[in-house]
Chain A
Amino acid sequence: MQPRVKTWLFLMPAGLWFLTMLVLPLVVVFIFSFGERGAAGGYVPAFTLDQYANLPARWAAFRNTLTLAPIGTVVCLLIAYPLAYFLALRTTPKWRTLLLILVIVPFWTSILIRSYAWIFILGGRGLPTLISALGLGDVQLINTPFAVLVGIVYGYLPLMVFPIFVSLERLDKRLLEASSDLGCPPWRSFLNVTLPLSMPGVATGCMLVFILLMGEFLIPAILGGGKVFFVGNALVDLFLQSRNWAYGSAVAVTLVAIMLVTVTAYMRFTRRWAGGRDDVSLM
């Protein structure tokens, strides 16, 4: 058999999967977004921009997604970096393994169950009771943007910790000695050496968390209680409740477009930031 043919044969399953499960649905959604809602719901072929013109009706969903996804990513980063730093550079190997397992363990439980647990913590008989018992007044936590933020930071933290941990662990510790040898005090060595060399991990973590957060719908559904909803929730609502497939498709296409633009801009930015390095751990 020709090597070329063989290569194509091996690529076939993945290619077919990619084509039927990703490209085709996207094409279908794109076409649907120009259609109209049938009388009994579903989709009627047409060519109109009405659905896109109607997008502002779902402004709240976009606004929530586009504020809470970046904020969630940043909060994740702010919590994950010190944690990853501690794990990679300040623990003995024995403790490191144990602590890493503790970071992973929550993943073994369904996100659904873990989110429900937060309902009890943030709900009426949880933290708010404690806070009012301490005389700090009545607060509403559940069904607020804050609750959703807590939920997504909690859920996505490991995805941020691991890439940063890996890049910090791979960091050649002799570089820190070299920096110190050249007259650089520890805190400035962190800014001059550790931080720039861990940027690939930071970029990977942010990308991972941000993309997944943009499509999130479970956590806002559970902890936002219908008050704080994401684009994902809007889509569930449009496709399954109001059965307006055309409008839902237009919302979906817009979300994909926003993601493409932000991710591309982000990649451009990080690449420039990295100064053209393909691989910082080259040495």
Chain B
Amino acid sequence: MGYIHVSMDIDRLEQFTAESPDPDAPAIRIAEMRGATKRYGDVLAADNLNLTIFKGEFLSFLGPSGCGKTTALRMLAGFEEPTSGDILLDGEVVNSVPAHRRPVNMVFQHYALFPHLNVADNISYGLRQQRPKPPKDQIDDAVRQTLETVRMPGFGPRRIWEMSGGQQQRVALARALINQPKLLLLDEPMAALDRKLRRDMQIELQSLQRKLGITFVLVTHDQEEALSMSDRIAIMRGGRIVQIGSPRDLYDRPNSRYVADFVGKSNFIDGVVAEIDGPKIALKTPDGQKLQGMAVGQLAKGDAATISLRPEQCSLARKQPSNTQAGMRLPVKIINRIFLGEHTEYLVKTENFGDFLVLVPRQAETAEGRFEPGDDAWLYWQTSSALVLQAD
């Protein structure tokens, strides 16, 4: 698995450089995980993680709870020592360097602000730990500036418990940012915020990251959050990194059914690889039909595989579409319709492959007319938009 990702990293590296503010600056490897593995007794919390983090990027670990994403973050922070493998910061192995000696700071899930200190003292905590201690007026200046950065000027003398969840989060962010860390680690920082506030914070966090140029590493189980904020996402499952890529990459070219299912919505048809013709693959479904799609990754004849089809790549028609119009077509019955404004989401029932989600843009709907639940219709798609993935 690691080898695949090395090549992907280089791929990303170029893209990342192209996107960074100064396109001529070479991408700097600020942190690396090399086969980092963490074992708790019999439990493998992190399994051979290989990953390079580039300076200034926004990287997310995305996965369900227990997938090892927090363990990965804690190894970067220095709270966990890898059982085997290496963690590198600035090219140096830091496996056994404790957290207090790493130039890395964390925004904790429930903020972990010191309740006995006021906002200013919380924020200046990191600076006050430096030896020799910076002069007081220098610390005060830095606190004032950081409070302005997180848009909380004048909040210094406030007590922690007098503040709302959103404000506490900003203080937690300021407390980490003031140290100008090499890596800013964020452990599910929005989990405790309500939906509206979370959205605002996501936007703010992203613009802050762009502005400051600090490398952010976020852990989240919220795919929307990861997709909207990250330059790159590492999808995790069972302690392993399943795929690393830009949000668009992961959405367009997921390397497994798991990723396709986790990033965005998708329809799936299971089967066995029957024919291989270059990138084109014919999948034989259990009922004997042959469906065509494009291969992602290595597949061999006889492998169990899945066709993944995004809802927006499916179309609906009243009359059977011609061969030129569609690569694949199936008769369906409309079950449900949800109006989403720009789009309408239909739930349709196929004869052999279960229910499908179809996202119909408003224009197409005007052309074809609206479908009512109970209507018969034809579902069709282009072969090129059907991805054949390894079954899990």
Contacts and interface: CB of A to CB of B under 8 A. Distances in A.
B and A form one assembly: yes
A183 B160 CA distance: 21
A177 B99 contact: yes
B116 A177 contact: no
B3 to A, nearest CB: 33
Contacts of B37: none
Contact of A277 (B110, B116, B129): B116
B99 A180 contact: yes
Contact of B110 (A174, A275, A281): A174
B115 A197 contact: yes
A175 interface: yes
Nearest to B131: A183
Interface in A129-186: 172, 174-175, 177-186
A283 interface: yes
Contact of A178 (B114, B116, B130, B179): B114
B115 A182 contact: no
Contacts of A268: none
A184 B100 contact: yes
Given A177-B99, A283-B160, A283-B161, A182 B129 contact: yes
Nearest to B161: A282
A180 B115 contact: no
B98 A183 contact: no
Interface of A: 172, 174-175, 177-186, 188, 192-193, 196-197, 274-275, 277, 280-283
A192 B110 CA distance: 20
Contacts of A179: 100, 114, 125
A281 B130 CA distance: 27
A283 B108 CA distance: 13
B112 A177 contact: yes
Contacts of B161: 282-283
A275 B129 contact: no
B327 to A, nearest CB: 53
Contacts of B77: 181
A229 B98 CA distance: 54
A174 B129 contact: no
30 contacts: A174-B110, A174-B112, A177-B99, A177-B108, A178-B108, A178-B114, A180-B79, A181-B78, A181-B79, A181-B99, A181-B106, A182-B105, A182-B126, A182-B129, A183-B129, A183-B130, A183-B179, A184-B100, A184-B125, A184-B129, A185-B100, A188-B129, A274-B116, A277-B116, A280-B115, A280-B116, A283-B110, A283-B113, A283-B115, A283-B160
B175 interface: yes
A282 B115 contact: yes
Nearest to B168: A283
Given A182-B179, A193-B114, A280-B116, A177 B100 contact: no
Contacts of A177: 79, 99, 108, 112
Interface in B156-180: 160-161, 175-176, 179
Contacts of A283: 110, 113, 115, 160-161
B259 to A, nearest CB: 31
Nearest to A176: B112
A183 B112 contact: no
Interface string B107-143: 0101011111000000001100110000000000000
Nearest to B79: A177
A193 B78 CA distance: 19
A175 B114 contact: yes
A183 B126 contact: yes
Nearest to B99: A180
B112 A180 contact: no
B232 to A, nearest CB: 24
A232 to B, nearest CB: 38
B100 A183 contact: yes
A172 B112 contact: yes
B153 to A, nearest CB: 22
Q: Which 9 A-B pairs have the closest CB atoms?
A: A182-B126, A183-B129, A178-B112, A174-B112, A180-B99, A282-B161, A180-B100, A184-B129, A283-B115
Interface string B79-121: 1000000000000000000111100111010101111100000
Contacts of A185: 100
Contacts of A192: 125
A188 B126 CA distance: 12
A280 B100 CA distance: 25
B105 to A, nearest CB: 6
Contacts of A182: 100, 105, 125-126, 129, 175-176, 179
Given A183-B100, A183-B179, A185-B100, 4 more contacts: A174-B110, A181-B77, A181-B106, A184-B129
Nearest to A177: B79
Nearest to B98: A180
B156 to A, nearest CB: 15
A177 B176 CA distance: 13
Nearest to A185: B100
A280 B113 CA distance: 12
A281 B100 CA distance: 24
Contacts of B101: 183
Given A182-B105, A183-B129, A188-B129, A281 B99 contact: no
